[in-house]
A and B are shown apart, each in its own frame.
Chain A
């Protein structure tokens, strides 16, 4: 991380819902190619912040740029440069694996030939060749998550946002999922990931921890452990999360 090119920059980013401040003036930077862990208890404001960054929610205050584009005025440009995988499984269950890849490739503007090539590579990497023409609804959860991720990075986005991508997935599949993340990161894709698994937090290059809408800590896992005199990220998280006043 020597040559630090900034791909996400947030300055006092705030989102209010009436009197409730979901995201309270958060400031942080994310560098190109890094895996940035965005941690916090339920209701800490992670998803709200992420929705602003991916351009589907307008901030109430502060500044933020994603891939060089403004979150107020250039959301459609942001969307061209990012991939997103939501908490909720959001591929079309009544389409097959191949049809889903084709559709999402198509709406990101890939041409038919590229889509076909990418589909073959993707199916091979994931080992899904035999299931290519099965409906997505018939796939087990772990498979779906791997497929979602692969589709989210199909159009070679600069940044990919992952909102609790491994929720409910077994440890083995979780490991495989992180292999996919590393692979993408090695290719220069920036990963912005939220998670509740602290072992996954250890895999991140840098981690921020949100408590009650504010970022309370932000550093590499090693430095955070040192700072909080803890042996694991789990302990760090507990020390911070205990201060939280609000819960879902």
Chain B
């Protein structure tokens, strides 16, 4: 026990003396949490649109205005030549072309029907897709307006209109930040837990101080605890900072209990710290450890449901995510922060993470050798 105190004292001294670690731990999370959720969301804004208007009627102008007025589009080209519009797509200036044919207004009034051409640049798939979808719904809306203008006496409405109004639960306004912020916080905690621990231990290997430690009668579990506890504490501090930032900057107040969040984070940290330790046992240089950790984090993040929904993944990928601790944590964060789930609802997650913690730490202690 006394040995452990000496170890902890030393680790904390070293950590707080190292200004780059302090920056990583305290400044990076704040910046990342502020920047990433705002930049990395799915909401597509600023879709560049080129309008080819052959009609120049009041309707065509109304339609264009409606599109621009939606706030999702930016008019980059208003021309009467399709060629010119296509060119702007080729130069990557526009994402979508809408072509309004000549006599658009006249045909619409006379024949109650008119055709529009939408051409979508699918190089940036998401943007094109979303842009196209927005555009269709705006046109549909415009269609409604026109109908109500003309079918003024709907004594007997020939077309019963069924309108579907979606109602979103838990995140009523489909706020992307509410969705992203808890997830990004998870990544940060994972980084602190695995990266920093692995690098810290491997650095001692590189410098040679670990050899000095290995010739002392220090107990294996003391050494390991001495390494894990400081980063466990730091991980919880990062979580606290993260939750504060998301509250102050994004106004996100967890619906569920903070106690559940911190409790789960504490267990999760045990798992990733064990993983960091395990990685350090298999790397001799910081370079190797970095590469190792980077690879793991990439897979964890991309397969963790932060950006792409796990439900939408193929079956084999879904099975893979069962072995991804980050996926559980992201899920729990969203459940607790957005939906307000309690311990009972996340009990399966807790068991899973506990198992990870036991397996990773068990392997780490087993493979750690006080030998060369």
Contacts and interface: CB of A to CB of B under 8 A. Distances in A.
Interface of A: 51, 54-58, 75-77, 79-80, 82, 84, 86, 88-95, 99, 102-104, 106-109, 111
B46 interface: no
A79 B215 contact: yes
A58 B3 contact: no
Contact of A80 (B3, B211, B214, B217): B217
Contact of B14 (A75, A94, A107, A111): A94
B207 A90 contact: yes
Nearest to A76: B217
Contact of A90 (B6, B208, B370): B208
Interface of B: 2-3, 5-7, 9-10, 13-14, 17-18, 207-209, 211-218, 370-372
Contacts of B2: 106, 109, 111
B215 A82 contact: yes
Contacts of B14: 92, 94-95
B10 A90 contact: no
Given A56-B211, A57-B372, A88-B211, A95 B217 contact: no
B217 A58 contact: no
B217 A79 contact: yes
A102 B211 contact: no
Contacts of B18: 94
A111 B6 CA distance: 10
A86 B212 contact: yes
User: DSSP class of A's interface residues: helix, strand, loop or mixed?
Assistant: loop
A109 B371 CA distance: 21
A154 to B, nearest CB: 11
A102 B8 CA distance: 12
Nearest to A57: B372
Contacts of A55: 215
Given A57-B372, A99-B10, A107 B3 contact: yes
Given A51-B372, A106-B2, A92 B10 contact: yes
Nearest to A89: B208
27 contacts: A54-B215, A56-B211, A76-B217, A77-B217, A79-B217, A84-B212, A84-B215, A86-B211, A88-B208, A88-B211, A89-B208, A90-B211, A91-B209, A92-B10, A92-B14, A92-B209, A93-B207, A95-B13, A99-B13, A103-B6, A106-B2, A107-B3, A107-B6, A107-B7, A107-B217, A109-B217, A111-B2
Given A94-B17, A103-B10, A109-B3, A57 B371 contact: yes
B214 A104 contact: no
Contacts of B211: 56, 86, 88, 90
Contacts of A108: 216-217
Given A56-B215, A107-B6, A107-B213, 7 more contacts: A80-B217, A86-B208, A88-B211, A90-B209, A94-B14, A94-B18, A104-B216
A192 to B, nearest CB: 13
A212 B237 CA distance: 55
Contacts of B218: 107
Contact of B3 (A51, A84, A89, A106): A106
